[in-house]
A and B are shown apart, each in its own frame.
Chain A
Amino acid sequence: MAILDLANPTRFLSLAQRLLPWVSVACVAAFVAGLYLTFFVAPDDYQQGATVKIMYLHVPAAWLSMLCYSTMALSALGTLIWKHPLADVSAKAAAPIGAAFTFVSLITGSLWGKPMWGTYWVWDARLTSVLVLFIMYLGLIALWRTIEDPIRAGKAAAVLTLVGAINLPIIKFSVDWWNTLHQPASVIRMDGPTIHASILWPLSVMALAFTLLFLVMHLMAMRNEILRRRVRTLQLHAASARHGVATPQAAE
């Protein structure tokens, strides 16, 4: 099936309806496996003790915060270049989810930072750039909420999303470019991961679980957004029909 076939919202809705149960089951299974591995299989750190378990929530949430923004940036391209009717729905649905993942990564990071670094927050390049990402998500949501016409709001948000995509490489490479308190990349590297397999496996399963969670929530949010737009169109039709009946009577 080509991506153009999915442009039809009805076809997308039926596909989402068929996919959602399977993806949801897979997501729950991945979370069960991931949490079991995290709490019962993965070893405690010799220095950090049990607090190292925060990593299995923190790192996937941080990855997903960037994956969400990348999804939105690709959708923005779809909106501006191909005028794909669902691209705009996809971007709008991803924004609150991305903001939530960013918030989770900031919170878990600061809870991890207190016992390890001795402070909840430092103005370090990685932390600051993720905070900027969070503010950008909130700004985009605010932009969607202030422009009434959904099509126009989608185009305005798409322009801003693309300009904001400059922040993604800054977040990824901030730990390499500047000397930061945050540790450098240890999983996604050119020369392979530098962490031990006993940590890497639970982390990968948790990352898969988070990605599936994003997929489930994104599909649900897109479905809701399509239905919300239909309701809006029906309400507008109803209002204009009522108005159309009322005016001739007033004119007589």
Chain B
Amino acid sequence: MSGWIGALFLRELRLSVRVGGGALIGVLFFLAVITVIPFGVGPDLNLLALIGPAVLWIGALLATLLGLDRLFQADRDDGSLDLMLMAGRPLELLVLVKCAAHWLGTGLPLVLAAPVLSIFLNLEPLAVGALTLTLLAGTPALTLIGAIGAALTVSLRRGGLLLAVLVIPFSIPVLIFGVSAAGAVTREPAPFLTPFLFLCALSLIALVVGPVASALALRFSSD
């Protein structure tokens, strides 16, 4: 039972870190977005500290969206997606394993890069910790919600832009609670725990809805 899960997980992980995988391009894009922001809003350090958590969250959202179109499309192009669909394994579990490997390859590097990038934005140490924690709790939700969009647009040749349009409305709650939890540490009276727990709840909801809806969409895209 667990043999195929481990094998699939390792396969996805290897594919994402090797040549043509593009796991680290997301982090580079993240860096590029954060570098551009001070040119847009000006290098005022107080202002940057104020909008820093929001900027980092939006950067992480965009970087996640950028990598999502390859989640199922590469497998569809070389035919392995059809093999997975015909393998008779629970498709929801298969999607979940693929998402987990994809998050490890693209989401976790974003979380690890966030403390470094937040220095550029003049965040305090406490705010850096809170931001990293919220990204750790929230980016799985972005990947899992994005998997629905990736599964819906898998058969389209230029699906990347449509994917972003479809996924962004659903990622707004994650963004709201992520940013309000990350910003709560610097603004004293606002509580950190309430939005953070909401963020965790959103990730758990996405853990159920994402794989089920993506599996449904993948089944329909194949017939």
Contact = CB atoms under 8 A, between A and B. Distances in A.
B209 interface: yes
A153 to B, nearest CB: 10
Contacts of A132: 169, 172
B162 A159 contact: no
Contacts of B217: 155-156, 159
Nearest to A138: B165
A100 interface: no
Contacts of B168: 135
A128 to B, nearest CB: 8
A163 B172 contact: no
A80 B166 contact: no
A162 interface: yes
B156 A146 contact: yes
Interface string A144-170: 001100001001100110111001000
A67 interface: no
B220 A152 contact: yes
Interface string B138-155: 000000000010001101
Contact of A143 (B152, B169, B213, B221): B152
A152 B155 contact: yes
- Interface size on B, as a range, is 10 to 19
Nearest to B219: A155
A142 B162 contact: yes
Interface in B198-223: 209, 213, 216-217, 220-221
Contacts of A138: 165
Interface string A164-189: 10010000000000000000000000
B216 A147 contact: no
A135 B172 CA distance: 12
A80 B216 contact: yes
Nearest to B210: A163
B169 A159 contact: no
A159 B213 contact: yes
Interface residues of A, number: 20
B207 to A, nearest CB: 14
A43 interface: no
Contacts of A152: 155, 220-221
A128 B213 CA distance: 25
Interface in B149-185: 152-153, 155-156, 159, 162, 165-166, 168-170, 172
A145 to B, nearest CB: 10
A156 B220 CA distance: 7
A136 interface: yes
A115 interface: no
A147 B162 CA distance: 11
A143 B216 contact: no
A139 B152 contact: no
Contacts of B170: 163-164
Interface in A68-108: 80
Contact of B221 (A156, A163, A167): A156
Contacts of B220: 152, 155-156, 159
Contacts of B156: 146-147
A162 B213 contact: yes
Interface in A104-154: 128, 132, 135-136, 138-139, 142-143, 146-147, 152
Contact of B169 (A80, A139, A155): A139
Interface of B: 148, 152-153, 155-156, 159, 162, 165-166, 168-170, 172, 209, 213, 216-217, 220-221
12 contacts: A136-B169, A139-B166, A142-B165, A142-B166, A143-B166, A155-B217, A156-B152, A156-B220, A156-B221, A159-B152, A159-B220, A164-B169
